[in-house]
Structure 1
Amino acid sequence: MTAEETAPALPGDRIAELAQEVGQLRDLFQRRLLDDKAKNVLIETVQEQARAAQELLRRKQLESLLKEALLAVDRLRTEDPSRELSESVSDELLEVFRRRGLQEIDDSGDFDGRMHQIVATVPASDTFPAGSIVDVRRQGYLLEDRVLRPAQVTIATAADDRESR
């Protein structure tokens, strides 16, 4: 052994070594904290995306169910010889759907291209001015704030509107 190896370290040298070690540990700790924060942000983002995907899937499944069931409601209202029974069953089904966010589209007043689909036109009159809904062939529905199925309507049109069709 040499004299340098057996000689005790000077207090100033030891303090410098410890300061350097503490600095390295601080850098390591800060990098790990930043890594942990980045991982947490990534985990939260993935969780939010998973929740959004689940909500979209739920809505799509509900939309599909309601569209099919509404066809049954339509048949009950038009094809069943026992009108009282069909009205009762269709009203009960619609109440179940209403509790899940289904709403009937308002068919009173004027035509709205976002909510109504024109299936026929009639000449406008004093009773039904141009653009007003005269008859509803098939009820339309909203699911929450989206049109699930537009109402099929007959509207009153002015003579010049009919000629341009």
Structure 2
Amino acid sequence: MLIHAAAGAVGHAAVQLAKAEGAYVIGTAPADDHDFLRDLGTDELVDDTADFAATVHSVDTALDLVGGDFGPRTLGTLRPGGLLLAAVPGAPGLAPEEAEARGMRCAVITPEPSGERLTKIAALLANTRIRLHVEAALPFTDAARAHELGDAGHRKGALVLALPN
């Protein structure tokens, strides 16, 4: 499985969930995050400034957490019949029909909570098979600042807003 933005809030959790399911994981991330991702179990890493499509081939599934031209470029990394999951706001940069014309599948996913999924994730957290990294915890009153930090781009792990007592 190829995971773009593997060190981010969603990406680092996706790496661990994929590993918990037995997947071989390839992650794209800045080089300074590679040690962090190795510690999470990522099998291969690609510097996000490099052309991942030139080095990654024949993956079964790819998770696009970046958007823009990543979707169309990621199609070239998939094996025939492979699946591109786009989890970005708006369009994934290509229509599902474009993927189908190339012998692949594309789906836009939006997280939907379910009791079954939450129970499974809670068990993985409880036995430390998944560890969530918090880059910064800000008071709820600093929500605007949290948005600014998120919009500024790269960060490792998640930003958390702490609710007042």
* TM-score, structure 1 as length reference: 0.26
- Which structure is higher in RCO with an 8 Å CA cutoff and minimum separation 6? 2
Structure (1 or 2) with the greater helix fraction:
1
Structure (1 or 2) with the greater strand fraction:
2
Structure with greater Cα Rg: 1
* TM-score, structure 2 as length reference: 0.26
